[in-house]
Amino acid sequence: MKLTRTWLDLNEIALRETLFHVANGYLGVRACPEEGAPEGVHSIRGAYLNAFYDTYPIQYAEKLHGFPMESETIVNVADVQGVKLFLGGEWFDPCAGTLNSFEQTLDMAAGQYIRHIVWRSPKGRETEITFRRMASFVTKELFTVHVTILPKNWSGDIRIVSGQNGDIRNDGDPNDPRKASEAKHVLRTVESGNNEQHMYMQSETISSGHTVACAVTHTSGDAFSLEFHSNPIENTATLSGRAKKGIESSFVKWCVYTDSRRHPSTLSTAVQLVKSCAETPIETWYDKQRAFLNEFWGASRVILRGQPSLQAGVDYAAYTLLQSAGQDGISSIAAKGLSGEGYEGHYFWDTEIYMLPFFLLTHPQTARKLLEYRYATLEAAKRHARTLGHPTGALYPWRTITGNECSSYFPSGSAQYHINSDIAHAVCTYYFVTGDLEFIRDKGADILVETARLWLDVGHWLDGQYRIDGVTGPDEYTCLVNNNYYTNLSVKYHLQYTLYLCGLLQQVYPELSLEKRYGLSDKEFKEFENISRNVYLPYDETLGIYAQDDSFLSKQKMDLPSMSRECFPLLLHYHPLVFYRQQVCKQADAVLAHFLYEDGIDDAVIRRTYDYYEAITTHDSSLSPCVFSMMAARIGEPEKALSYYMHSIHLDLEDKQGNTEDGIHAANMGGSYMGIVFGFAGLRIRPDGLSLRPCIPHSIDSYAFPLRYRGRRIHLEVTQKTVTLQADGPEPVNMTLYGMVYPVTDQAVSIPLDNHPSV
């Protein structure tokens, strides 16, 4: 379980800073060179705390009523990565002298990023240097840099300058809507200094007034003496010692971050915690990290045999999801995780549809925490609904950190009302998998009812059907349409499952009044039921497919085959009206609808809909290939599914979108997991249990994975000939396979593989 690069490529510095980042859901640090990037080489130096943000005003030339007044951005916090080595009087610079060996490794079993170098200096001194980093999964505030130095052919003085820099900017690009428009200072240092043991720094966000503290100390045994220097924005510690040929020396840089959203006393907490952490040997921390990850991988690892690159990719996907997921109820999973500043650290509906399923099936306690974040921001969603003119209900924003809408472009932002149903879908599937009705009673039902209530005001009745006008579906190349198929279909299930769970609450908790607890009257209950039965789903009789919306199929098709690849992604090269007026999709829309809500839809319709939209989809969104992969498996084309899956699994590792330097595509990481579990294995989560429809491409020998369902652990393995199911105890768990129900126990059951179940 390692990601490795064995050569130095100056053109990939920023890309590798993303790929090899270390994070733990709270803290993320990009894998920037400790000595600094060479002059003229693109580097994005950054460290981030999940949900730690600043605000800034949104500027409009023409502002209309209800437009957001300000946005939020994740903050690049104090830089503690700096470690400069002076070996025998020569500064270690990989671009000077000779690199006899160079290797970068992300060890996903140990939870460490390791850079190992054998360097011959311009004067011929050869030194073996290892930088080892860890963001602790056990103590989330802790980040360490462990440096070992082995002189190969020389003896002499060693001097190390270790820094803590508060003069930090956020990254930006005025020509890329996926990033902040400008690089800017959003943090100011208010206190900085040192004592004889540690350096400390407290900073404050310029607009929001949040504080963050960072404390740093060093341990090295008796190898080095220590001297500090401080100024108002930077602290340095100088470690000095004597190197002997063939004898290794080392030191550990211990860094702790605390922020005011989670820690009442940021600076004192950081100082106390860094002292406490440094009292335990670093090897003990490594043991704790590995023990944590042993448990994580045991509960979640997908095993693929036959294509090693796929195994490496799906391991990386799962690991980066773990690194990205907030688990404190005030944070979620940013679009770029904690690996970069793309999308400014905002949370999207991607979390619930693409990323939460991984945790739901492997670590449901994390899935609950992600849903608790949505509960914590429900009041903000209600305010957002009022801003958009709805007297009741809640409307979750398109992009946010605290629950406020951060997008200034409403046609592809706030108009995505389907976000309500996406979050509701996650709440419902959480219950279907876990049976945690207490969560539904205490928090989930509030989300379901308030988001469902909004649909009563958004839509209208026409000719006995409920229609929803002026919204945007998942496809951001088609905006402000009437009766987006994905939205309307999701509303049907949103209301249906809300009714189901509210009815269940009444059965299990007879003392609970739906009207008193959630404000759900009998009148609203009946309206939910009526709409769910009669919501309009646009269908084209001639083509035999579901239309993406009322007008989509009547538009001119964009001539995608004749366009140069340099024209993609379209959003960076064309005015939005160009693609709004044509049949072209940025990502899966109707196809995604059939993935999430397939019940009652004929297989032939699903296939025809898939084929039609495949021809006009650019996959400019990283959310798209994994959906087309899963649905190719659904329609009985595992080889096509594999082709899309290969793109998805390598999207960041091979920088297929060209912007991985700004951070990983976290939703695609979720899609890479789903591509096996929901794609090839055909898993579907329903109120009455789990169903499977496995298939397997010819070039894969087998795949296997564990999952959790209703407190039980179930293991599935698919080979070219059989499907094997096994549970963790003698009590049977009913699983539906190809439409047949099998009681699964600790005695493995094997069923012949039907590799084309949908044909």
Residues taking part in catalysis: 476
714: enclosing H helix or E strand: strand 712-719
Contact, 199 vs 165, CB < 8 A? no
Sign, CA torsion 582/584/589/595: positive
Provide the 8-state DSSP code for 261. T
Select from 273, 264, 238 the least CA-distant residue to 85.
238
Reported in sequence order, the residue ranges of 627-711 that DSSP labels E, i.e. its strands, are 684-686, 689-692, 702-709
Contact, 234 vs 278, CB < 8 A? no
Distance set, CA 473 to CA 34, 549, 592, 598, 714 (Å): 44, 9, 10, 17, 35
Sign, CA torsion 415/174/31/56: negative
Tokens 């462990």 belong to residue: 146
Report d(CA 532, CA 422) in Å as an integer: 16
Distance set, CA 596 to CA 57, 220, 412, 422, 684 (Å): 37, 55, 21, 10, 8
What is residue 636's three-state secondary structure?
Answer: coil
Angle in degrees, 0-180, between the axes of helices 522-534 and 485-508, rounded to the nearest 10: 140
Contact, 463 vs 475, CB < 8 A? no
Q: Are strands 689-692 and 702-709 parallel, antiparallel or unpaired?
A: unpaired
Distance set, CA 111 to CA 44, 71, 107, 314 (Å): 22, 34, 6, 16
Q: Which two tokens stand for residue 548?
A: 């993406």
Find the farthest-apart pair of alpha carbons in the chain and give their distance in angstroms, rounded: 89
Length of the chain: 759
* Cis ω for the linkage preceding 569 (within 30 of 0): yes
288: enclosing H helix or E strand: helix 282-300
Distance set, CA 354 to CA 226, 665, 670 (Å): 48, 11, 5
Question: Which phi and psi angles does 752 have, rounded to 5°?
Answer: -60, 140
